[in-house]
């Protein structure tokens, strides 16, 4: 297996993927910088390089690479190609992750979750629950950037190309609010 060292911080900075400002996460917490990995995926060669780095994080044989949302489908597809696995993408139905169409995960299959950025682990937890519902095994979670401080989600190993801790603030204690910086919700056009 080919292992390569990726300077993910340099890649993010060179591609202006770290955006400074005042942002609100879906859980209501505020942050000062947002990482937009979408800007990286417009370059197929760079996407392949990042996918190779993610694939190298787990040596185990896998059957499926699961993108917890369509937002992560590009990178998951590329990791699956490198690993010689199937690529699946989940989507939300009534607040729960589900597989699309007639796509199935068979009992006992080995599944790697691939996500772009991990903050709270909520999406990865839901993806692991979906995998467990199909009686398959989650062997790990590979992320481009880990902004959490846990290193695991419900005892499932989480490995990243970059650990970049997230400083969060409650709205009432947010220094960015006190400076009256405009607030943007993550997920909106930034």
Say how many Å lie between the first and final Cα of the chain, rounded: 38
**H helix and E strand count, the chain:** 5, 10
Report the candidate in 146, 127, 29, 18 with the shortest Cα–Cα distance to residue 70: 127
Give the pLDDT score at 188. 59
pLDDT tens for 100-152 read: 888 999 999 999 999 999 888 888 999 999 999 999 999 999 999 998 876 66
Residue 190 has pLDDT above 60, yes or no: no
pLDDT in tens, 4-58: 678 999 999 999 999 999 999 888 889 999 999 999 999 999 999 999 999 999 9
pTM for this prediction = 0.90
d(CA 143, CA 118): 7
Cα–Cα distance measured from residue 21 to residue 184, given in angstroms and rounded to the nearest whole number: 8
Distance CA 143, CA 123 (A): 12
Report the top-level CATH class of 20-164. alpha beta
């Amino acid at each position: 297996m080919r292992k390569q060292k990726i300077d993910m911080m340099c890649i993010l900075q060179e591609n202006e993927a770290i955006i400074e400002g005042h942002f609100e996460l879906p859980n209501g917490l505020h942050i000062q910088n947002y990482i937009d990995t979408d800007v990286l995926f417009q370059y197929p060669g760079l996407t392949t390089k990042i996918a190779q780095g993610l694939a190298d994080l787990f040596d185990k044989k896998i059957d499926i690479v699961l993108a917890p949302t369509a937002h992560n489908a590009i990178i998951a597809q590329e990791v699956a190609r490198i690993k010689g696995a199937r690529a699946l993408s989940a989507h939300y139905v009534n607040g729960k992750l589900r597989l699309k169409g007639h796509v199935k995960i068979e009992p006992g299959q080995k599944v790697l979750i691939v996500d772009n950025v991990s903050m709270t682990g909520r999406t990865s937890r839901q993806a692991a629950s979906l995998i467990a519902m199909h009686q398959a095994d989650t062997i790990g979670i590979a992320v481009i950037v880990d902004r959490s401080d846990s290193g695991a989600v419900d005892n499932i190993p989480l490995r990243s190309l970059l650990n970049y801790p997230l400083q969060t603030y409650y709205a009432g204690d947010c220094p960015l609010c006190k400076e009256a910086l405009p607030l943007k919700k993550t997920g909106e056009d930034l």
